């Protein structure tokens, strides 16, 4: 069974830093891209960041670019999200999710493989003084 376990959340002051971890099991981690998605209180889902299978390419939402860094350690089957210069608006539940491929792949039909499945239960981040 594929499982994702997020850890590292907590309460941090504005301007502070936090590193989230997502440990995977049940699949060949090094073959798949991974992503982080967050949900602020009372809000919807927001895609945050992604990293391809070999870690060579990383991607960010504009709201976190320059402040967050995604990385992975395939030997530990773990993906990380280093968060710096945290703001109140970064307060959210942070979910880790698995991509269906290791990198961009276009089907002959022109379709892409970009859904996220499965997701972990999330780790809560609260930015408050």
Partner 1 sequence: EIVLTQSPATLSVSPGESATLSCRASQGISSNLAWYQHKPGQAPRLLIYGASTRVTGIPARFSGSGSGTEFTLTISRLQTEDFAVYYCQQYNNWFQYTFGQGTKLEIK
79, 81, 120, 123: which one binds partner 1 (CB under 8 A):
120
Q: How far apart are CA 91 and CA 103, in angstroms?
A: 29
Pairing mode, strands 10-12 and 123-127: parallel
Q: What string marks each residue from 47 to 66 as x (binds partner 1 by CB under 8 A) or -? A: x--x--------x--x----
Judged on CB neighbours under 10 Å (0-12, 13-18, 19+), 75 is: exposed
> What's the Cα-to-Cα distance from 3 to each of 75, 87, 100, 118, rounded to whole Å?
17, 30, 14, 8
Residue 27 binds to partner 1 (criterion: CB under 8 A): no
8, 21, 27, 46: which one binds partner 1 (CB under 8 A):
46
Question: Closer CB to partner 1, residue 16 or residue 59?
Answer: 59
- Please state the closest distance from residue 93 (CB atom) to partner 1, in A: 10
Return the range that interacts with partner 1 (CB under 8 A); candidates 10-18, 20-28, 30-38, 76-84: 30-38
């Amino acid at each position: 069974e594929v499982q994702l376990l997020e850890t590292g959340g907590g309460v941090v002051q504005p301007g502070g830093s936090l590193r989230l971890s997502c440990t995977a099991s049940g699949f060949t981690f090094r073959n798949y891209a991974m992503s982080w998605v967050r949900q602020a209180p009372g809000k919807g889902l927001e895609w945050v960041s992604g990293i391809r299978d070999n870690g060579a390419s990383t991607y960010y939402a504009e709201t976190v670019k320059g402040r967050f860094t995604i990385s992975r350690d395939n030997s530990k089957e773990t993906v990380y999200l280093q968060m710096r210069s945290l703001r109140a608006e970064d307060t959210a539940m942070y979910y880790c999710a698995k991509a269906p491929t290791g990198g961009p792949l276009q089907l002959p039909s022109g379709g892409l493989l970009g859904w996220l499945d499965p997701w972990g239960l999330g780790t809560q981040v609260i930015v408050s003084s």
